[in-house]
Structure 1
Amino acid sequence: MHGFSPEPAFMGEQNLVFSLQALVEATDNFNDNNKLGQGGFGAVYKGITSDGNEIAVKKLSAKSKQGKKEFMNEVKLVANVQHRNLARLLGCCVEGNERLLVYDYFPNKSLDTFLFDVEKRKELDWEKRYNIIIGIARGILYLHQESQLRIIHRDIKANNILLDHKLNPKIADFGLAKLFPEDKTHIHTRVAGTYGYMPPEYAMRGQLSVKVDVYSFGVVLLEIISGRKNNDNHLPYDMQHLVEWAWKLFQGGNALNMADSEASGVSEEEALRCIHVGLLCVQANATFRPVMSDVITMLSSSSVTLPNPSKPAFVSTGESHSLKPEPMSMSSWGNDEDKIVTTSQISGATTTSSPGIRSVNEASITEVEAR
């Protein structure tokens, strides 16, 4: 193998360097029948190793300059983080122009494949949804406060949450993750992530802090409760933007009306608490959003008094601009479908960080600087 020597600081003994030949054999020469998904940085394939273990192989496009940055960033970050709610990196391969990442294989694919499917979301009863919410929160807390490195994911969304055989959540796709200085509360950086899950201070000004992931988590939490995407133009006009709809229901004392009717066994007390916490996470003012340790405390304890949330980001006071969302892709294994989009109108708020095209909900920004 040529062109790569894993650094001990990044690759522990539990991680392996795979040969290209081994991955070719495992995926039947990257046969289309084994393809799990296709994204902007390449495809992901199911494979079976020589000792019978199932793996997922992320094969990055050799043509993508950003793909190399994504690859090295993901290797360095994910190899250093180990948590039950994070997808485990098994190893990597670099030979010639080939760059590959090897992960555990999850037959249930990702949260969006359940949550946004008319039939499959029936499998997510309230207990499963609540456990998924708590698991995601714990994974983010680990990244922010408990790992050796302080990491901001920057792309928390339903299709980056994998589900194991027991439907336990695993945060995946660290290609846009960023190491964050311990002595800083925020930094200014180029924007990278997915519109619809970005708070205003980041989408508009590039101001990055742990509160960016908190906001994204709040959106995903509301998606889990409601069983719907954060933007859906197929719904009645006043329901199209999830955060805005949730806020209006909460203000009117009807928050439970947003709970997914397909979720059996809903605990009204827990559901109301989750909706309340979700709205605290998506507040327009980043300083008002809780940190993840407080989020978990508020979600887990009925004795904790919750503060009243202030107005969420991107809730319009007048006419709102509806944006047509892109369809969800096959599965999260190939969902790094990043597109260059740097100017957007988001539910009535306009970003003007740099010239570009107008984005839509599921488009991700790929102007990623060196870490």
Structure 2
Amino acid sequence: MEDKSEGPRDISFALLEKITGNFSEKHKLGSGGYGEVYKGVMPTGEEIAVKKLYVIPGLDDVQFKKEFNNLMKVHHQNVVRLVGYCYETKKKHIERNGEFVFSNVEERALCFEHVQLGSLDKHISDESCGLDWDTRYKIIKGICEGLNYLHNGSSNPIYHLDLKPSNILLDKSMIPKIADLGLSRFFATTKTHITSQIKGTLGYMPPEYIERRQITKKFDVFSLGVIIIDIIAGPSGYSKCAEMTSQQFIELVQGNWKKRLHAATSRYASQEADSLQVKTCLEIALRCIDKDRAKRPTISDIVDKMNEIDTLKMSLLSKRPEPREFLGFDPLELRFPFETNKAISCVLQLTNKSDDIVEFYANTNKKKYQIHRDQGVMAPWSRCYVIVTLQPQGSAPPNMQCDDMFFVRSTRVRETDIGSLDINVTEQHLEKQMGEVKSLPIVFVPIPQPPTSIAD
């Protein structure tokens, strides 16, 4: 939570006109239901976003001040910070019935921190491209923490009621900030409220609000569920979700993410941890968009669940991974029928026993042995043969004892890292990839001698 000792300051309308070029199109950042937003630079060099409010029927002075006072109390890293305000009444002359009369004109503006990367909707894409999983998860969790603060950070819950990707801004570190809080609803209790007017964005509004105008803390939770699906599965994710069962949707999206995670990293534990996060976030989202609001989780439940999976991910990544045996070896020892002054060969069969592409590098005492095909890349479920030749030796070791070993180092390869199955693999490269090492003993065996005939 942010701790800002200096609260929002009173900024004159004249200064706002100056720093926004008199609210020119050049400085305009966008517009919403309650006003237009302009970028301005304060004399101190601070960049701010100025929301010049429309004249809104029904928004009386008492209501505006009450809601503004609540906004003054909002300080959280995942909520756009209010840095200033303007509320001035001026006398302006207008023509009425052929005469000029003076009328009171109110100018109201709310000034927020300027967030550099703009709104989330400009960064949403499906699973195959765009932001990586870690960034998407950071955005999802940040939105959840910001919404949890609004709902539970004070005695008076704040309901956003128009939560959507265009109302979530991203700073230069991709930290999300919930925006457009200017006219959110502030309630002294968490009970259900009925409104006579319907405002918001279709697709992000829950059915009880559309059908019965009911507002509860589960309104924002429904919107959050749709946003999480948008972030994970792209703009068409929510419509896809409606076309299949929840389980089918989870399997489809998680499967797509597994492919991307598989291509992005060779670390098995990281893939499994990230895939678990994808699944958990999808499960949370689907609970959030349940038509029965009683079945939707609260935002505090959601944050607790995400903290749980963070802890589980750290546990998975901190554990030493069990070695994954990509390759099978036949035989499990290299046996050489020893003869002096003669080159002797042994064939080793390697079998890729996985759905992955595997690279290998074979090594031993190269002054004593020659290896044909000492490195390579193997397609899933394929075989290859390594021929190891013992160079001619002048004499056999005592008792045929051999302490030599044959080593094969292997690891999985990302498809994006190779252009074909014929690349140069080095032992140093595989050491960096933390590949597994298989040690095979080398054994010398004497050639059986024909039995000696015994004379009668």
TM-score, with normalisation over the residues of structure 1?
0.67
CA contact (8 A) 2:127 2:253 kept: no
What is residue 51 of structure 1 aligned with on the other side?
A: 44
Which 10-residue stretch deviates more, 261-270 or 193-202?
261-270
CA contact (8 A) 2:218 2:293 kept: yes
Q: Are 2:162 and 1:155 equivalent residues in the alignment?
A: yes
Q: 1:185 aligns with which of 191, 194, 202?
A: 191
CA contact (8 A) 1:298 1:304 kept: no
Cα distance change on mapping 1:118 and 1:298 into 2, 3 Å: closer
Q: 2:57 aligns with which of 62, 65, 72?
A: 65
CA contact (8 A) 2:287 2:297 kept: yes
**Paired AA for residue 281 in structure 2:** C
Identity %: 36
Any idea what the Cα deviations from partners look like across 1:58-105, whole Å, max 9, x if unmatched? 11234x436778965652332121111110011111223321111111
Any idea what the Cα deviations from partners look like across 1:130-159, whole Å, max 9, x if unmatched? 011111111111111122421111111111
**Paired AA for residue 225 in structure 1:** I
Any idea what the Cα deviations from partners look like across 1:278-318, whole Å, max 9, x if unmatched? 0011111111111111111222324999xxxxxxxxxxxxx
After superposition, residues 163-202 of structure 1 pair within 5 angstroms as: 163-182=170-189, 184-190=190-196, 191-202=198-209
What is residue 93 of structure 1 aligned with on the other side?
A: 86
Tell me the secondary structure at the aligned position of residue 55 of structure 1.
Answer: strand
Q: Are 2:10 and 1:17 equivalent residues in the alignment?
A: yes
After superposition, residues 314-325 of structure 1 pair within 5 angstroms as: none
What is residue 356 of structure 1 aligned with on the other side?
A: none
Cα distance change on mapping 1:143 and 1:40 into 2, 3 Å: closer
Structure 2: stretches of 5+ with no match in the other structure: 91-105, 266-270, 313-456
Shift of 1:37: 1.1
Q: 1:26 aligns with which of 11, 16, 19?
A: 19
Cα distance change on mapping 1:13 and 1:168 into 2, 3 Å: closer
Tell me the secondary structure at the aligned position of residue 112 of structure 1.
Answer: helix
What is residue 319 of structure 1 aligned with on the other side?
A: none
After superposition, residues 265-280 of structure 1 pair within 5 angstroms as: 267-280=274-287
Shift of 1:260: 11
Tell me the secondary structure at the aligned position of residue 65 of structure 1.
Answer: coil
Q: How many residues align?
A: 281
What is residue 78 of structure 1 aligned with on the other side?
A: 71
What is residue 340 of structure 1 aligned with on the other side?
A: none
CA contact (8 A) 1:222 1:242 kept: no
CA contact (8 A) 1:111 1:162 kept: yes
CA root-mean-square deviation: 3.1
What is residue 284 of structure 1 aligned with on the other side?
A: 291
Cα distance change on mapping 1:286 and 1:127 into 2, 3 Å: same
CA contact (8 A) 2:8 2:83 kept: yes
Q: 2:124 aligns with which of 98, 115, 124?
A: 115
Q: Distance in 2 between matches of 1:45 and 1:208?
A: 31
Q: 2:248 aligns with which of 247, 250, 262?
A: 250
CA contact (8 A) 1:74 1:173 kept: no
CA contact (8 A) 1:73 1:174 kept: no
Which 10-residue stretch deviates more, 208-217 or 53-62?
53-62
Q: Which structure has the higher relative contact order (CA within 8 Å, separation 6+)?
A: 1
Q: Distance in 2 between matches of 1:132 and 1:228?
A: 16
TM-score, with normalisation over the residues of structure 2?
0.56
Q: Are 2:95 and 1:103 equivalent residues in the alignment?
A: no
The structure in which a higher percent of residues are strand is 2
Cα distance change on mapping 1:261 and 1:27 into 2, 3 Å: farther
CA contact (8 A) 1:188 1:206 kept: yes
What is residue 221 of structure 1 aligned with on the other side?
A: 228
Structure 1: stretches of 5+ with no match in the other structure: 1-11, 232-240, 306-371
